[in-house]
Structure 1
Amino acid sequence: RIEPVNENEPDGQKLNVYVGGGSLIHPSVVLTAAHYVINAKALRIRAGEWDTQSTKEIYPFQDRDVASVETHKDFNKGNLFYDVAVLFLAQPVDLTPNVRVACLPQPKIKQDDGARCFATGWGKDKFGKEGRYQVILKKIELPVVKHDRCQTALRKTRLGRFFQLHSTFMCAGGEP
């Protein structure tokens, strides 16, 4: 998100503020979570970033402004059902060694229990207010967890025994 450095000078110097991650699915299109962009006024994506605190990386990042946003028509910000949005870039990114398009599964194909997937991000190192965003991009390979097995596991948490996992959610993880 792009914000003014000084609220009293909205047309002055601007600052890029990290909102959340996304995946490049076409040189001009990013897939992300709808809750990141539902109220966003000015969005910019950064592709190819690795270390947020360094400008001396081998391959440079690329910034692109977002021309338009499409959120899923059934997105519900209260429960995050259908939490998906597509960002259309004003200009395509250049495909380089550090900027590639994600490989997506075929439509209507469900991943088998135990299939492997990846999660990446600069997420916080701890839950709660003490957690700090990371400066180096993290990546982890995780097993996909079948919907019913995931729901059973989540019912053993504070969500409780009547918790219903919505069909739009995908689960991964559970390894020690």
Structure 2
Amino acid sequence: MTQGGELDALVRQRIRSLRTSRGLSLDELAARCYLSTSTLSRIETGHRRISLDQLAPLARALGTTLDQLVESATDEDVVIRPVRDETRGATSWLLSKDSGPHGMTVAKMRLTRPAPARDSGRLAVHPGKDWFTVLSGTVELVLGERTILIESGQAAQFSTMTPHAFGARGGPAEILTILDHDGQRTHLS
């Protein structure tokens, strides 16, 4: 990190903001991470370079991780851009930046095409489970030999080892879905 770098300034701001939001004085935080008060003050104000051996104890004392303390902040961290798949009639927004517990991904999807027919050869099978709730419209879920309509405000959960596909029924539909890695590749790719 350089003294004038944007990330350096962001880390300093995070240290100060976390310290004040936790109600800690400079003296209290300095004691918790075994730094002198003047060193901590100079770190926060940019008059002293931050070293790695200072960051780890600071993160611990502030109740955060080193990764969170030094992660970069870009517009990509804030803006979630849609991914359109015209062939499948779906637009997806990946709402979880990284996979969550057990490799789960959260996504919002806008469906504009109906589900493929049971005999179309386009029903997917993969390990895991899918879960979704319908935010608006009606979703047609083809699940094995059954066709199930899920209305706005309703949810569905099913084993993805059963041949399945879903799409909009009677106009566009929006869903919030939780997918495992295999489901992410199948439904969002």
Instruction: Confirm or deny a common fold (TM above 0.5).
Output: no
**Structure having the larger proportion of residues in helix:** 2
Higher-Rg structure is 2
With normalisation by structure 1, the TM-score equals: 0.23
